[in-house]
Structure 1
Amino acid sequence: MAATKYHRFRGGERCDECGARQWYAQDAIRYCRNGHRLEGFAEHEGDEDAFGTQGKVSRKKKEPKKKIAVKLAGDEGRELYLEVLQLILLRQVWWLVREKGFPEDFEEIVRALWALRVRNLPLRESGQGNRKRKGDASEESDGYASSAALFSSQSEGTGAESSDFDLSDTTTATWAPDARRRWKLPKLVDSLALCYLGCLVRRLPATTADFCGWAQRGELEFLAAFNNIPRNVRDRLPAEYHRALQVRDHIPAGRLQTAVQELVISFKANFDTIFPPLNYPPILARLITELALPVEVYLVVKCITEVLKADYSYPIGGKKIRAMDNPEVLLAALVVVSAKLLYPLDGVERPPRSHYDPRATNIDWGTWRESMKDDKSVESSLVRGEEYKVTPEDALTMDKEKLDDFMDWFEKMWIGDGEPKTAERIREPFQGQTRPSNSSNPSKQPENTDVERIRRRYEAVNNSVKILEPVPVDPEDSGKQFRQDFCPTWRTPEELPDAARVFYEKAASIAAIPLHTLVRGATQVERRLEVWCIERAKERDREKGKDKGKGKAIWTGDDSV
């Protein structure tokens, strides 16, 4: 006889008579372990092991629990923000070293500058640990102000700030050595400024316009830096630091120069650090080449540099900083003034004094203007770095290739992993399509494109050069004639003639400075040259007077001398 197979009751049930917890089946009837018949069980309910479960069992899937990161606040939030900014700076340095061939010690230089920048940042004590920085012993016991006073919550380039930056707004009073309490947290643009200062230390011929171009084209991490931050780090950052790391779609002209000027003054005021001057000769040659100007402009700029005794160093003192005190603005202004003196922009011909006068040649500014326009060959693709200029009207009339380039740029810059569903909806209409080309890829562009473009510009300008006949000048009227050689001074962009406005705008665009700043810097340079000419004329008059006096002593009675 087979052994009886016992089963356990479900859900804590038991026999009503004896309380047994096990039962067995016999002839389709169930009994408890002690033999009591169990009521309420139908005869068709056979053994579960024999018949199995009846019907399909569906279980509700449990939704995964979302982990909500705790936002940091106070010192912890500020330190996390500094760590994020340091990570962005490190990625920028790595790109410059690996892609642009910067020297290996460039990273060490930028690290040292970053350590100085965050050295005296005011952080209060939190918890049990001592987290006061060195030199904070004299501070008040109630700690520092809140993060709102230490950091502006406005994002870089928001609508709340002007698109035109005035370099004269920076003064040494803002960065007094005893005002460490006002030393604010660095902004995202300070990462580019520190890299630029590293170039000054290393004497590399890189300009703020280069950094703006690299960042604008998405090569150097800046515009989309917030999207590249790890998700768990973004979730723990306070909201004000989110806004600080989210920038606009471009860097306003003059923004980086202003940040560099502020850092130069702050390093001098707090650490007595002076940066070397700008390595201007290669930058000057590149600027003249980009403007397709003759080589004589280089020689005139060198002469004016000696006249003004300019060393192209960033100013570190004084209550007011002029536009021409900025070395890059000064360099661009000297190029503009030199070209203006050699090849007048007002349409008035000023004949040379001899065949050796650099003004013996004259260029046609109308031809120059046509040559500076973008080539017809690149009109079918979107200009890299200028995608932010696309308007809704332009998007409706774009050809297929331009629209593909714009969508690639938009996806790279502004679609992060914060909202995956949003990214999927945007990508969905374009999935499964193959692109005929990818002009956003730098490798597609031939390396000699810029060289060919500049060569064509110089060919067009050289073909328009005219040779002017010299007109001798009486030595007695040389001073008067020298003053007449000066072109009119234009103090505002509104005063510029058509040819001059195009030239000024192109120079300002290449130097990445506002047009009104370049006009102001050129005006200041012209004023300095005018003062120098007046002083030289007075010196010549004094020398003539001395010569006349000596003649009287030698030739007695000769009053005609």
Structure 2
Amino acid sequence: MANVLEPYLYLQEQHGFGQNKKSSAPGEEGSDGKRDGEESSDEDNQAPKEENDDNEDEDGKSGSSSSDDDSEDPELAKLLRENSESPSSSDNDEQPRSQPADTERKGKGRFIHQEYDSPAGNISILMIACWTMRFPVMYMDFVRLIEAYELPYLDSLRLLPPSLTLHLTKQNIQALSPHFAPTPMHMHRLTSRLAKLMFRSYNILTPECNAAPLLWRAVRGLQGNPTLYTLTKQLAHTLSLTLTIHYSLAPKLKKLKTRDPEHHKYDNAPPEVSLAATVIVVLKLVYGLDGRKRTPKDIHDPACALPNLSEYLIAIKELEERERKSKTSILSASSTSSALDMDNDMLDDYLDFCEKALLPRENRNIEHGVIRDYFPLTRHSSTPDEGVRSEVFEDSLPDAMSAVRIHENSSDLGPGNAYAIYHTQDVLGSLPEDYEKIVNRAATWAGVEEDYVCGVVERFERRLAGWWDKVRREKAETLGRVDDEVCRICIGQLIQHD
């Protein structure tokens, strides 16, 4: 081993290579300098060192000391790193710059999908199921059940076991815990879109709504009678109301001209709103609702079977007062009632509601309830069934109202005369007081805005006016004249009974 190391040590001593210096080939500068002799100048020793410093970065295989690494210029190292980067790396750096736009698009797409994957989407599925089974339900029925905590929707995570909610993120908890019940228009948009996708994707047709009982609910919601129901039914047939959950599921209109539309405006309105708007049109035909009195002059006029206008408006006001004091209205999110406005029975119901809405399911024990511990009072002697029965009968059987009187020689306008159509886009205009009361009542019953109801009513009125002009022209061509007899024939076609 010593024999092997001796030549290496000898060359190291003679030529000065090894450790931190780059060796030169034998017989070149180092050998010539030693062969001449006698001196080994500093320049001879310095030249290889300077050459080694210049080529230090190029020779990656040669060793380098820690002192040289520490003395390296950081700015030079930074420039070398930037210079050593390949074009592909610069392309990779530029690629993430375009990612925010893609991220925004993906984020927007996720927001759209979250809208249809929200808890309100479950209500739309229930709504389609009820339509398929021909239940005469409306969107406000689900809203009332949600606000009464009968249908799990608000703060529903408390009903789930901890093992299912343990790993939910904050975003998931927020998405699954809405603070308010969905609006009927929002549920209708989700439900109609779902029905349209079911038909396009799987050829599953959602049937029309069960219009007869739903129309009766609309008539009773406006304190109407069977005569009003019959007139509204005939007018709905004349207007060709769309009773499907989406207008694309209904047959298209017959196009007499190329520019004729295939669907009417507001054909995609909720069916209960369309039926309530039709009831309002009939009421305007009978009463006018513009401040001027209408008096029937013929004993065969259907207006004779309708109640007096003043008593009719009083009945609507009394119905609103009863609903304002009912349990459903108190539990509503839009209620402004306080505990001072409640009687003993209403307080008991409200405490039961708080126990059901605020406590988990396992803590709601009948014998040892939290409410009974803090409020050890006995309930009222009346049974719940009697209270529910009395409330239903009060709403369904109002006080009897007197009918409209007939005056053959009266100078008042008759039903259907001087019909006024109010433009909903006139923001500076105002509605007559009687007409506004009925519109507000219909909007409250259907759970939509008053402006939306006015828009549907206006569209139906203009559609009815077009039908009126068409029938009058046809009768005039047949009889060869336009007089009161033609008008009576047209009115008879409109209000005839089935």
Q: TM-score range by the shorter chain?
A: 0.5 to 0.7
Contact 2:287–2:415 (8 Å) recurs in 1: no
Q: Does 1:528 align with 2:473?
A: no
Which AA in structure 2 matches 1:358? P
Once the 2 structures are TM-superposed, how far is the Cα of residue 530 of structure 1 from its aligned partner?
0.6
- 1:128 corresponds in structure 2 to none
Query: Equivalent residues in 2 for 1:29-108 (5 A)?
Result: none
Cα gap change, 1:316 to 1:272, in 2 (>3 Å): farther
Once the 2 structures are TM-superposed, how far is the Cα of residue 522 of structure 1 from its aligned partner?
0.9
Cα gap change, 1:375 to 1:193, in 2 (>3 Å): closer
- CA separation in 2, counterparts of 1:299 and 1:293? 11
Contact 1:387–1:409 (8 Å) recurs in 2: no
Which AA in structure 2 matches 1:466? V
Name the structure, 1 or 2, with higher relative contact order (CA <8 Å, separation 6+): 2
Which AA in structure 2 matches 1:275? T
Once the 2 structures are TM-superposed, how far is the Cα of residue 403 of structure 1 from its aligned partner?
5.0
Once the 2 structures are TM-superposed, how far is the Cα of residue 450 of structure 1 from its aligned partner?
1.2
**SS of the counterpart of 2:288?**
coil
Cα gap change, 1:387 to 1:484, in 2 (>3 Å): closer
- CA separation in 2, counterparts of 1:260 and 1:276? 13
Q: 1:468 aligns with which of 393, 406, 426?
A: 406
Point out the more displaced range, 333-342 or 303-312.
303-312
Q: Does 1:291 align with 2:222?
A: yes
Cα gap change, 1:266 to 1:446, in 2 (>3 Å): same
Q: Does 1:507 align with 2:461?
A: no
Once the 2 structures are TM-superposed, how far is the Cα of residue 150 of structure 1 from its aligned partner?
5.2
**SS of the counterpart of 2:338?**
helix
- CA separation in 2, counterparts of 1:257 and 1:403? 34
Q: 1:386 aligns with which of 331, 346, 362?
A: 331
**SS of the counterpart of 1:367?**
helix
- CA separation in 2, counterparts of 1:383 and 1:437? 19
TM-score, scaled relative to structure 1: 0.55
Contact 1:330–1:521 (8 Å) recurs in 2: yes
Q: Does 1:368 align with 2:306?
A: no
Task: Compare CA radii of gyration and give the structure with the larger one.
Answer: 2
Q: Does 1:348 align with 2:286?
A: no
Which AA in structure 2 matches 1:526? E
Contact 1:323–1:329 (8 Å) recurs in 2: no
**SS of the counterpart of 2:388?**
coil
- 2:377 corresponds in structure 1 to 435
Which AA in structure 1 matches 2:190? A
Q: 2:424 aligns with which of 491, 509, 516?
A: 491
- CA separation in 1, counterparts of 2:195 and 2:132? 12
- CA separation in 1, counterparts of 2:478 and 2:410? 24
Once the 2 structures are TM-superposed, how far is the Cα of residue 441 of structure 1 from its aligned partner?
9.2
Consecutive unaligned residues of structure 1, counting only runs of 5 or more, are 1-142, 154-181, 421-426, 474-479, 548-561
Contact 2:339–2:347 (8 Å) recurs in 1: yes
- 1:221 corresponds in structure 2 to 152
Contact 1:253–1:514 (8 Å) recurs in 2: no
**SS of the counterpart of 1:467?**
coil
Q: Does 1:446 align with 2:388?
A: yes
**CA deviations over 1:491-518 (Å, ceiling 9, x no partner):** 2696322222221222222222322221
**CA deviations over 1:311-335 (Å, ceiling 9, x no partner):** 5113343999843432222111111
Q: Does 1:238 align with 2:169?
A: yes
Which AA in structure 1 matches 2:131? L
- CA separation in 1, counterparts of 2:359 and 2:381? 20
**SS of the counterpart of 1:246?**
coil
Contact 1:384–1:440 (8 Å) recurs in 2: no
Consecutive unaligned residues of structure 2, counting only runs of 5 or more, are 1-101, 249-260, 364-368, 483-498
- 2:197 corresponds in structure 1 to 266
Q: Percent identity?
A: 19
Contact 2:208–2:244 (8 Å) recurs in 1: yes
Q: 2:210 aligns with which of 262, 276, 279?
A: 279
Moved over 6 A (4+): 143-147, 318-321, 375-381, 427-430, 438-441, 480-483
Once the 2 structures are TM-superposed, how far is the Cα of residue 370 of structure 1 from its aligned partner?
3.1
Cα gap change, 1:185 to 1:333, in 2 (>3 Å): closer
What is the root-mean-square deviation in Å for CA atoms of aligned residues? 4.1
Contact 2:198–2:204 (8 Å) recurs in 1: yes
Q: 1:193 aligns with which of 105, 108, 124?
A: 124
Q: 1:325 aligns with which of 265, 268, 288?
A: 268
**SS of the counterpart of 1:431?**
helix
Once the 2 structures are TM-superposed, how far is the Cα of residue 242 of structure 1 from its aligned partner?
1.4
Q: Does 1:304 align with 2:247?
A: no
- 1:19 corresponds in structure 2 to none
- CA separation in 2, counterparts of 1:149 and 1:350? 56
Contact 1:505–1:515 (8 Å) recurs in 2: yes
Contact 2:218–2:272 (8 Å) recurs in 1: no
Point out the more displaced range, 362-371 or 204-213.
362-371
Which AA in structure 1 matches 2:266? A
Which AA in structure 1 matches 2:119? L
Which AA in structure 1 matches 2:179? R
Point out the more displaced range, 501-510 or 245-254.
245-254
Cα gap change, 1:376 to 1:496, in 2 (>3 Å): closer
Q: 2:478 aligns with which of 538, 543, 546?
A: 543
- CA separation in 1, counterparts of 2:324 and 2:286? 33
